[in-house]
Chains A and B, each alone.
Chain A
Amino acid sequence: MSQFHAIVIGAGFTGVAIAHDLALRGFRVTVVERGPIANGTSGRTHGLLHSGARYAVNDQESAIECIQENQILRLIVPDAIEPNGGLFIAVDESDLEYREKFIQGCEECKIPIRELTPKEALRIEPNLNPKLLTAFTVPDGTFDPLRLALAFAATAKSNGAVFHLYTDVVDLLTDGQGNIKGVKVWNRANDKRFEIEGDIVVNATGAWVGQITSMAGIRVPIAPTPGVMVAYDKRLTQRAINRLNKPGDGDIVLPQRRMMVVGTTSFSIEDPDYVPVLPDHVALMIERGSELIPALRQTKERGAYMATRPLIGSGAPGRSISRTFKAYDHKETDNIEGLVTITGGKATTLRLMAEKTVDLVCKKLGVNVPCTTAETPLISYRKFYVD
């Protein structure tokens, strides 16, 4: 077992999964998060445990990762997942033209689907658009965003990881040659400032990774790209409902407890710290969502919110350990030792992102311990608060 000390910045899905993996592989782990767990993009997702079918035509690498991780998460963290299944439905001719490609893509990615007649689909989901032309079942699910993150954090904590919440990383510590040897932090709960030294700093701040790397004078080509989601006050389906077409705006309608959540959109901004929920995007959600489930029009809005993806610029330098997310070893890209940045991916693939990132960290430090997170059930999310 290694006794290296790893500092993880950010406790969104990426950060908590990395903390868990590092702790299992014997690292001493400290997590620094400026808010509570999952206050950034991670808390504010739809909550769709992707089957991968959404990506089966255009992005098969993502699709395969999703279906594999979907199956793993159901086993290791059943507490945070409602295995309610999903449907892809066609409501117009253009959707129907996508049908062949969809069937072929899902087969290539080994995503189990089954076609239903419109009558069958309406029998199991009576609130679907009665004009639907065809439907496919897929193994989607709904996850509870906070409890998914908490389960990873709780397990990391039980294996020794230390969490500093409400604590901002305000600067990076360097060795005089520009190499990173720790972080300077500000605990806002008690207004204390202090330093933490470590052997490696993992920057898992999602849409904010650029703010951290700029503390080391490094620019990363990440564009914060938010999207809006709207929750409606009634549960209208058992399953996650997706539009049978290439991914677009407002084409996912997800049941979440007693609600339906419609999302999402995409626009660019400069600063991800505060993003307004744009009224015209909210209007678009009801427009698009009701094409799949007309009864949404008669349902009251319960909440409207946004989350910010870190979109990776094209031609971004740095080694791509996967095309679907990006990890930079800043030794390779900028000749700065001690700092790794990870960004991109999906909630559904959090475990895999962590595995790849910790593999990279282990290789850098010469640690030879395999990843075991796929076989390790997580403990109850409540244990994060209660020892």
Chain B
Amino acid sequence: MSEEKWTVNFVVYRKKGDGEPHYQTFTLEVSPDEYVIDGVERIWAFHDRSLVFAHACHHSTCGACGMRVNGVEKLTCITRIRDVTKNGGTLRIEPLRNFPVISDLVVDMSRLYVGMDKVHAPAVHPLSLAPLEGEGIKPPRDVPMDGGKEYLRLADCIECGLCISACPVAGTAEEYLGPAVLAAAQLQGLKRAPDLAEVVDCVDGVWRCHSAYECTAVCPSNVDPGWRIMDLRRQVLAQRIKRWFGGA
């Protein structure tokens, strides 16, 4: 990190109870290599103790700190100030869209959790279910696995809700399962989990998606939901065809 100092105007969305939402500006001296959440936390610590915001891990593993930064969905704990504004510039900080606002920068994401539960999205799963293309390590091949069992991994999806906020369809269709949920179904695969077909093969499932790929653009955690929704459609069709030709 350099000794460089920038002055940045944080324009922050504020809302309390039934009160009218408004924006409030806080001018902060920051290091450009700090992360956006550091600035937000400093506003709370030194300028305004009434600010409400969510965060926990500060290193992109918990999914709590999603916000819209200058109109784009970001995990604020891994978004460097240098990458989203300039010295003397502005950072417009707003809560995620397509979820009800609880207060200021915090939204109620129960819509996402209900969906994840509906498709029984595992939080920990065998390594072979983790999409490793391109990135990360491969399971060691020549080593006996954990007592004959496969290695387990924490799922890639951190349930941050960025994809739902960015999705142009999720805003108008409240019942739409949304990208993260459909991706979780695709990851399990309809072959392994045929019961999921019922949940995802419906208007508010795979067929609601307009292939905008905004979800994939904002996903911070290697899930690529846009691609997975398209693949899930193929799986759904394959299963239907199998059924027509005398399957169960």
Enumerate chain A interface residues (CB-CB to B < 8 A): 35-39, 42-44, 47, 78-85, 123-125, 127, 142, 144-147, 149, 166, 168, 188-192, 229, 231, 234-238, 256-259, 261, 273-274, 277, 279, 282, 302-305, 380-382, 385-386
- Residue B248, interface by CB 8 Å: no
CB–CB B45/A78 < 8 A = no
Enumerate chain B interface residues (CB-CB to A < 8 A): 1, 16-17, 19, 34-35, 38, 41-42, 45-46, 49-52, 54-64, 77-78, 102-104, 106, 108-110, 113-114, 116-117, 123-124, 135-137, 139-140, 142-143, 146, 151-154, 156, 158, 221-222
CB–CB A146/B57 < 8 A = yes
CB–CB A231/B1 < 8 A = no
Q: How far is A93 from B76 in the complex, measured between Cα atoms in Å?
A: 42
CB–CB B59/A256 < 8 A = yes
A-B contact pairs, 9 of them (CB 8 A): A36-B106, A43-B55, A82-B152, A125-B140, A145-B61, A166-B103, A191-B17, A191-B19, A386-B114
Q: How far is A380 from B64 in the complex, measured between Cα atoms in Å?
A: 17
CB–CB B59/A303 < 8 A = yes
- Contact A274:B41 (CB < 8 A) given known A81-B124, A188-B52, A303-B78: yes
- Contact A238:B137 (CB < 8 A) given known A257-B61, A282-B1, A386-B114: yes
A256 surroundings in chain B (CB, below 8 A): 59, 61, 154
- Contact A43:B146 (CB < 8 A) given known A234-B135, A257-B221: no
Say how far A36's CB is from chain B's closest CB, in angstroms: 5
Cross-chain contact of B123 among A235, A237, A381 (Cβ < 8 A): A381
Cross-chain contact of A145 among B17, B62, B109, B136 (Cβ < 8 A): B62
Q: How far is A329 from B124 in the complex, measured between Cα atoms in Å?
A: 39
Say how far A188's CB is from chain B's closest CB, in angstroms: 5
CB–CB B41/A43 < 8 A = no
Majority DSSP secondary structure for residues of A touching B: loop
Say how far B30's CB is from chain A's closest CB, in angstroms: 11
CB–CB A303/B17 < 8 A = no
Q: How far is A125 from B142 in the complex, measured between Cα atoms in Å?
A: 11
Say how far A25's CB is from chain B's closest CB, in angstroms: 27
Say how far A140's CB is from chain B's closest CB, in angstroms: 13
- Contact A258:B109 (CB < 8 A) given known A189-B103, A274-B42, A305-B58: no
Q: Tell me the nearest residue of chain B to A191, going by C-beta.
A: B16
CB–CB B38/A277 < 8 A = yes
18 extra interface residue pairs, beta carbon distance < 8 Å, beyond A145-B56, A277-B38, A385-B108: A43-B64, A47-B61, A79-B123, A80-B124, A84-B153, A124-B140, A147-B123, A149-B56, A190-B16, A191-B19, A191-B50, A234-B135, A257-B158, A258-B222, A303-B35, A305-B77, A382-B113, A385-B109
Q: How far is A302 from B16 in the complex, measured between Cα atoms in Å?
A: 33
CB–CB B50/A78 < 8 A = no
Say how far B17's CB is from chain A's closest CB, in angstroms: 4
Q: How far is A212 from B116 in the complex, measured between Cα atoms in Å?
A: 38
A381 surroundings in chain B (CB, below 8 A): 123
Cross-chain contact of B52 among A166, A192, A279 (Cβ < 8 A): A166
Say how far A45's CB is from chain B's closest CB, in angstroms: 8
Q: How far is A277 from B1 in the complex, measured between Cα atoms in Å?
A: 10
Say how far B180's CB is from chain A's closest CB, in angstroms: 12
